[in-house]
């Protein structure tokens, strides 16, 4: 399949716009251009992992555990992997110097671009984590 350079450019611009909108701390926004490569990697990683997870017996059986479906547990596991604590002062410095978005946004950013996330949790317009289809970023 040939590479569509225009689609790659649109996706890259979309992810920059998405992360530029996020406030990391106080009034300090994430620099979407500076974090672009890692944001694309996070989105690609969670999508590849999702494709692999869908092939597991656990996913195929669909058994709920603790009231959660396999899909819900997948996304919660992703989120838990990024949990940490950081002082606001440190975060303000990091957001200006690090090529990584803050950890909470490394969860929120990728999952809000994934239809399976919306389906797993019934996210709909008006919900805090809803992003319209027209602005969701797809990299493949």
Position 38 pLDDT exceeds 80: yes
Tell me the pTM: 0.90
Task: Tell me: pLDDT of 4 over 70.
Answer: no
Reference 38, options 1, 89, 87, 82; nearest CA is: 82
> Which of 9, 4, 45, 13 is closest to 135 using CA atoms?
13
Lowest model confidence (mean pLDDT) among 5-9, 18-22, 105-109: 5-9
3 — pLDDT class (breaks 50, 70, 90): low
What kind of fold does domain 5-135 have according to CATH?
Collagenase (Catalytic Domain) (3.40.390)
Mean pLDDT across 38-42: 96
Residues 6+ apart with CB under 8 A from 91: 24, 25, 102
In sequence order, what DSSP letters do the residues of 49-110 get, joined into one string?
Answer: HHHHHTTSHHHHH---BTTB-HHHHHHHHHHHHT-----HHHHHHHHHH-SS--HHHHHHHH
> Which helix or strand (DSSP H or E) is residue 23 part of?
strand 23-25
Domain boundaries in the chain?
Answer: 5-135
Residue 125 has pLDDT above 90, yes or no: yes
Residue 10's pLDDT band, with cuts at 50, 70 and 90, is confident
If you average pLDDT over residues 109-124, what whole number do you get? Answer: 98
């Amino acid at each position: 399949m040939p590479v569509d350079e225009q689609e790659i450019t649109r996706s890259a611009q979309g992810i920059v716009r998405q992360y530029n909108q996020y406030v990391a701390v106080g009034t300090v926004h994430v620099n979407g251009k500076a974090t672009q490569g890692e944001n694309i990697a996070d989105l690609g990683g969670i999508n590849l992992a999702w494709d692999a997870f869908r092939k597991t017996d656990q996913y195929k059986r669909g058994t709920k555990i603790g009231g959660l479906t396999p899909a819900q547990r997948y996304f919660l596991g992703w989120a838990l992997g990024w949990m940490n604590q950081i002082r606001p002062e440190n975060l303000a410095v990091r957001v200006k110097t690090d090529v990584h978005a803050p950890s909470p946004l490394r969860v929120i950013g990728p999952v809000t671009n994934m239809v399976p996330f919306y389906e797993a949790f019934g996210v709909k317009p008006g919900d805090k984590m809803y992003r319209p289809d027209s602005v969701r970023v797809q990299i493949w």
